Structure 1
Amino acid sequence: MGLAARLLALAALLGLLGLLGGCSGLRTLDVVTPSSDYQPTQGVAYGLDPRQKLDVYRPTRPLPATPVVVFFYGGTWNSGERGDYRFVAQSLAARGMLVVVADYRLYPQVRYPSFLEDGAQAVAWTYRNIGQYGGDARRLFLMGHSSGGYNAAMLALDPQWLRKAGVPADALRGWVGLAGPYDFLPIENPEAQPVFFFPDSPPESQPINQPLAGSPPALLIAATHDSTVDPVRNSEGLARRLRSAGVAVQERYYRRLNHRTLVASFAWPLRWLAPVVDDVARFVTAHP
């Protein structure tokens, strides 16, 4: 995109960027999201609770042995709706990937670790059923942003959750963390404190405290200037631990992004900010 086009896109979206902290900005991204790259199946139940539902986005131009990405959104385990993240699904479906966006129960309905159990159930449903939608369960990836990145990390790094849901230990080909909190004790965020029983938060709730050895390959992406989740302590810290455990890990850091625009950059009007979608696509296609 040329400079003039970038300036026009930026001017048109200035109001949007100010709204990205809430549902209004996400729904605006949804409005400008193309619908020609996928075929949706919405509101599939993977459990009995009303929050235990997911949407499936089948690519119109799938890759061979179509890889599957299960995406978990952020919201400090207090908020979030799967329908607000169609722009993430579209961006990956346009690259030939099948995408599952899952809701999960939130605080105050539940606390840790119930949302991890929900995530594991969503992955289990995907593993067992995604072949009916054209996806290849042998190419299964997890991805999440912010607290959703935490969920993806815990499901990938602590084998008990997927094992309890009946998913084989070697089912995951990899996982992608977008500005995830992986090392956040003691908890400073007041919204997250009751979720993890602060001040008695269990150490085993932290991704960085997991055994790590033998876990699937990871791609950690963060914004250099992230004032919500410290990229040095979380992404860089976890990357060091993964490497020391012999796990393949890639890192990407972007100066032009912040915590919110990192996930917003999946939307087509904002992709010029950073090649985050390219990073994810390369990571997935590199793990056949």
Structure 2
Amino acid sequence: MFHFVKTAIKNRIKLVSILVFGLVLTAYSQEIQYETKQNIPYYNASINQADEYINERCVLDIYYPKNTKDFPTIVWFHGGGLTGGEKEIPEQLMGKGVCIVAVNYRLSPKVKAPIYIDDAAAAVSWVFKNVADLGGDPSLILVSGHSAGGYLASMIGLDKSWLNKYDIDADKIAGLIPFSGHAITHFTVREERGIPGTQPIVDSLAPLYHVRPDAPPLLLITGDRELELLGRYEENAYLMRMMKIAGHKETTLYELDGYGHGMTEPAFPLLLKEVQRIKEEKNNDK
């Protein structure tokens, strides 16, 4: 197992090292059988029946190991700038002994902020309340996503008010792993307000606004700063630094050398490694 230094602002990771992580959970999962359930509503029936768009978009898919117990769960939010995209179960995460929950949420311009953040919270709440029925461990739910999905993961994990609405403590999330997500207010939120994309905003709809020492473990992953979207590495670096200054002891930032915004392929093994680390830490604390 490779270990990377977790105290530096910049961790440049070479592909030759990353490939090793694809083997992390393979031996554990070889004999496991998997099942997929699709298009499960995460709002209750009365809400779904009252709103056609909620009924269409606010659904999730679950891919889970059906013949094992107490497995970890990764909630995965798709990217697409909060204006597009579809739920997906990433192939690179399949067959690794973990449950994957792929979430759809409502999109701009049909809705505006903060509706899609509320959808993300409702979906994670559903997972907390139902994953045990499938055999999952509710204390091992991690939240991740790419780009807009990474932004949603950070928002509901750092701003506790979103999950509090559904009687879930955000600190019960075992880990937050946003891939190339905004740390400032998302550009689509700014566009909805008529604010130029080159004008950064940090308000209550920015993960940076909710820096706190008691948040779940936070693993930030971006592409190469020279190849990423405008300022994406830098705002994540600032979030990492401010979390550490606030006293958060488990914030890490990885910058993937040679990869642009579409950096999911080398990032997925890091996500699986983080799942394994948190699972082993939990077992050691028993």
TM class, shorter-length: 0.7 to 0.9
Are 1:139 and 1:172, in contact at CA under 8 Å, matched by a contact in 2? yes
Select the residue among 247, 258, 261 that pairs with 1:259.
261
Aligned residue number for residue 220 of structure 2: 220
Aligned residue number for residue 101 of structure 1: 102
Aligned residue number for residue 143 of structure 1: 144
Q: Distance between the aligned counterparts of 1:229 and 1:160, measured in 2?
A: 29
Q: CA deviation at 1:101?
A: 0.5
Q: CA deviation at 1:235?
A: 1.6
Are 1:182 and 1:238, in contact at CA under 8 Å, matched by a contact in 2? yes
TM-score w.r.t. length of structure 2: 0.75
Residue deviations 1:154-188 (CA, integer Å, cap 9, x gap) = 00100000000121343211110100111258x5x
Q: CA deviation at 1:60?
A: 6.1
Aligned residue number for residue 251 of structure 2: 249
Select the residue among 247, 261, 283 that pairs with 2:274.
283
SS at the partner of 1:117?
Answer: helix
Aligned residue number for residue 191 of structure 2: 194
Q: Tell me, yes or no, if structure 1 residue 40 matches structure 2 residue 36.
A: yes
Q: Distance between the aligned counterparts of 2:191 and 2:256, measured in 1?
A: 31
Residue deviations 1:4-23 (CA, integer Å, cap 9, x gap) = xxxxxxxxxxxxxxxxxxxx
Are 1:61 and 1:94, in contact at CA under 8 Å, matched by a contact in 2? no
Q: Tell me, yes or no, if structure 1 residue 210 matches structure 2 residue 207.
A: no
Q: Distance between the aligned counterparts of 1:231 and 1:202, measured in 2?
A: 14
Q: CA deviation at 1:238?
A: 0.9
Greater shift, 222-231 or 204-213, is seen at 222-231
RMSD of aligned alpha carbons: 2.2
SS at the partner of 2:76?
Answer: strand
Are 1:59 and 1:93, in contact at CA under 8 Å, matched by a contact in 2? no
Matched residue type, 1:115: Y
Are 2:174 and 2:217, in contact at CA under 8 Å, matched by a contact in 1? yes
Residue deviations 1:27-67 (CA, integer Å, cap 9, x gap) = xxxxxxxxx973210000012111110000113675x6211
Q: Distance between the aligned counterparts of 2:252 and 2:221, measured in 1?
A: 8
Aligned residue number for residue 84 of structure 2: 79
Aligned residue number for residue 181 of structure 1: 182
Higher relative contact order (CA 8 A, sep 6+): 2
Select the residue among 57, 60, 85 that pairs with 2:63.
57
Gaps of 5+ in 2: 1-31, 49-53
Q: Distance between the aligned counterparts of 1:115 and 1:243, measured in 2?
A: 28
Q: Which runs of 4+ in 1 moved over 4 A?
A: none
Q: Distance between the aligned counterparts of 1:193 and 1:205, measured in 2?
A: 10
Q: Distance between the aligned counterparts of 1:46 and 1:108, measured in 2?
A: 22
Q: Tell me, yes or no, if structure 1 residue 68 matches structure 2 residue 73.
A: yes
Greater shift, 161-170 or 118-127, is seen at 161-170
Residue deviations 1:234-277 (CA, integer Å, cap 9, x gap) = 221111111112221122111221112x12x1xxxxxxxx3x22
Query: Across the two proteins, how many residue pairs are aligned to each other?
Result: 232
Aligned residue number for residue 25 of structure 1: none
Identity of aligned residues (%): 27
Q: Distance between the aligned counterparts of 1:106 and 1:162, measured in 2?
A: 20
Q: CA deviation at 1:68?
A: 0.8
TM-score w.r.t. length of structure 1: 0.74
Aligned residue number for residue 10 of structure 2: none
CA shift in 2, pair 1:240/1:152, >3 Å? same
Are 1:60 and 1:96, in contact at CA under 8 Å, matched by a contact in 2? no
SS at the partner of 1:175?
Answer: strand
Greater shift, 151-160 or 105-114, is seen at 105-114
SS at the partner of 1:138?
Answer: strand
Matched residue type, 1:193: R
SS at the partner of 2:222?
Answer: strand
CA shift in 2, pair 1:249/1:132, >3 Å? same
CA shift in 2, pair 1:192/1:226, >3 Å? farther
